[in-house]
Structure 1
């Protein structure tokens, strides 16, 4: 069975085509820097044990344009892997926010789409492109079963101590206001890898997902018990354009004293803050280039980014009451050794001892970057949300 997986991020679109159940990737790709200058599509084919790589530079103003270009690539005589759309039997979609309505993978119906749309306000950077991916895929692949895998599902194991806010009870019982958590598919995938590597099903692990969106999760015995994002994917760590944790009084000050509308404040916190607000750049690669040129705003942004991660590390060690491993994953977590060093710097008190030599090396598989005598293992584990989504989609549609 051929299953296509679509993973629409806030500024990117990852895709993989799998032959299931053997989990064999047929092709994969990344549509990067959507809506920014120098947008690209990196497309890879896997044929006869060999990898063919193609780089396409093209303006990609939005997610719909990106997805339509991907479907053309899949059928391209030279670069593609299928001759007809009907070869794809199912499409697994990453959907960021499932609220309390969706605690597991589900077949997409009109009712499911309506509920995903209702949650736009809680994940304004993600659920709209997720929804758009579904609607475009339904048009392009009308015979395929569409499956939603929700980022929030993995965090449904959190206890009330972690997901409840100190607000009137009715706001939870009647309005569903609570912490849901996100990047669950990624946190679940890399924590499984770490548990297997450690050969310890009861391991206490902190997973650190650093991409355009960023989050951390405290995992005990394979279950999420706390996570940095909340009602929507804006709380917690500093991100590409999202502010992360702020004093809520800032919002009321801007509205009541400075004349901003609620929508303007929402746009600022979601789209104009984070690395972009601090430095003028939303992409960490651009931030680091600016630092090399002596940009002090970029240097401060980089330091603040690492500082916030350190604060959550301390908090989650307390929540877990111990720690066996930390995991760096996603674009920045996997590819920026300087950020890993900045996060681990001064954390020896907690048994976290980074080996700078191992940290500087590159690998496409799980690796340790700690000194041998480090009490806590420090892993770099490439995330593969697409494979996890493909596996869950296959398990659902094959029944």
Structure 2
């Protein structure tokens, strides 16, 4: 069974083709084909990168149409040096990451016209992401036809078990009735990492108490108890919580009222400022990439140093807040671009919690660890670095929903 996965974001898209030999497996296999699109290289252009058959294809495409660029990317599955399929019809099912599922979708589902309508309606809650996710679904319909099953895997689903005292905001109660509540995001990553942590620790997931730290351009934490997310840092939107690459994270809402009243900011201007001009980028003036920040610190850039120090402060504070919903802590998990690749972030975040018995082995921490415990032998809390594999997690949900493809 061949499963194509599209993990589309606002600025990039990651795609994989997996072949399931006949059932679920614990270890993620290497995909037959990997594709990526970067929409940010330069105005009016997108960068395509494909890996398959030991070949790497890189191309700059002149187009502003996401559907056109996605089509060109997918054609490399059955054409050229990276061809791994004889024809598009060999694809049995397509899985999509969808950021917001609201309260209706607490697990992955087969995509129908009703589901598509819900994704479009919920774009009011995730205007940067849901429209892009829906566009990917419709692009697949154009390329493969409507007979190929498609599956929506919602970022919010893993947080569906948050208790009311966590997900209800302390505003007027009618906010809740209008759907304004904490939803949480990055759920596919948090779920995968919690399950992988249980495998690595040789423990049953329901017996573990975990804090998973998804630190990429977007950042969020989750407190996991009994196999479920019981608290998380992102809220009504992915803008809430930690300081991120270009997003502010949590702010005093009075700041926004002040900016609207005294400086004439519109809602759209605030949206752009908080999502694209804040966080590491806004404070440093350098950019949203942690590698840029660290390079500038080496040059003596004080604003870059301030941005980094703030990032660590917000991360430590959030880890502390997650502890409040756990009766003990078995492991801290670091994942995603920064979490997996920046040892200094892991080191400084863990130092604060040495009073809990958290101790990391600096040699292990600095040796590019993947799917290993970097804690010392006498640490009372494990510290895991896990390579998040959201695309594989999406593929697994597709298998569980569609089975061997006989429902096509």
Structure 2 length-normalised TM: 0.91
Answer yes or no: is the 8 Å Cα contact 1:12–1:34 preserved in 2. Answer: yes
1:194 aligns to what? 197
Answer yes or no: is the 8 Å Cα contact 1:10–1:126 preserved in 2. Answer: yes
Deviation of 1:30 (Å): 5.0
Q: Distance in 2 between matches of 1:31 and 1:316?
A: 33
1:273 aligns to what? 278
1:119 aligns to what? 122
Query: Does the alignment pair 1:16 with 2:26?
Result: no
Answer yes or no: is the 8 Å Cα contact 1:171–1:177 preserved in 2. Answer: yes
Answer yes or no: is the 8 Å Cα contact 1:215–1:228 preserved in 2. Answer: yes
Q: Distance in 1 between matches of 2:297 and 2:35?
A: 26
- Residue 141 to residue 25, structure 1, CA distance change in 2 (3 Å): farther
Q: Larger deviation: 148-157 or 25-34?
A: 25-34
Q: Over residues 340-372 of structure 1, what are the superposed CA-to-partner deviations in whole Å (9 max), with x where a residue is unaligned?
A: 122223321122212110001124x41011111
Q: Distance in 1 between matches of 2:65 and 2:200?
A: 39
Q: Distance in 2 between matches of 1:59 and 1:297?
A: 35
Q: Distance in 1 between matches of 2:371 and 2:66?
A: 31
1:54 aligns to what? 56
Query: Does the alignment pair 1:99 with 2:102?
Result: yes
After superposition, residues 301-316 of structure 1 pair within 5 angstroms as 301-316=307-322
2:163 aligns to what? 159
Answer yes or no: is the 8 Å Cα contact 1:26–1:81 preserved in 2. Answer: no
1:44 aligns to what? 51
Q: Distance in 2 between matches of 1:371 and 1:176?
A: 45
- Residue 333 to residue 63, structure 1, CA distance change in 2 (3 Å): farther
Query: Does the alignment pair 1:221 with 2:226?
Result: yes
Structure 1 length-normalised TM: 0.92
Query: Does the alignment pair 1:171 with 2:175?
Result: yes
Total equivalences in the alignment: 392
Answer yes or no: is the 8 Å Cα contact 1:13–1:66 preserved in 2. Answer: no
Deviation of 1:41 (Å): 4.0
Q: Over residues 250-285 of structure 1, what are the superposed CA-to-partner deviations in whole Å (9 max), with x where a residue is unaligned?
A: 111111111111121122111221122112302222
Query: Does the alignment pair 1:324 with 2:330?
Result: yes
Deviation of 1:200 (Å): 2.9
Q: Over residues 90-139 of structure 1, what are the superposed CA-to-partner deviations in whole Å (9 max), with x where a residue is unaligned?
A: 10000010000111111112221121112223222221221121111111
Query: Does the alignment pair 1:300 with 2:306?
Result: yes
Q: Please, which of 88, 106, 117 is the counterpart of residue 85 of structure 1?
A: 88
Q: Distance in 1 between matches of 2:354 and 2:35?
A: 37
2:240 aligns to what? 235
Deviation of 1:10 (Å): 3.2
- Residue 295 to residue 28, structure 1, CA distance change in 2 (3 Å): farther
- Residue 199 to residue 25, structure 1, CA distance change in 2 (3 Å): closer
Q: Please, which of 383, 388, 395 is the counterpart of residue 393 of structure 2?
A: 388
Q: Over residues 126-159 of structure 1, what are the superposed CA-to-partner deviations in whole Å (9 max), with x where a residue is unaligned?
A: 2122112111111112142111000101101111
Q: Distance in 2 between matches of 1:116 and 1:309?
A: 31
- Residue 28 to residue 218, structure 1, CA distance change in 2 (3 Å): farther
- Residue 30 to residue 82, structure 1, CA distance change in 2 (3 Å): closer
Answer yes or no: is the 8 Å Cα contact 2:242–2:314 preserved in 1. Answer: yes
1:290 aligns to what? 296
Answer yes or no: is the 8 Å Cα contact 1:4–1:88 preserved in 2. Answer: yes
Stretches of structure 1 lacking an aligned partner (at least 5 in a row): none
- Residue 66 to residue 373, structure 1, CA distance change in 2 (3 Å): farther
2:253 aligns to what? 248
- Residue 199 to residue 62, structure 1, CA distance change in 2 (3 Å): farther
1:4 aligns to what? 4
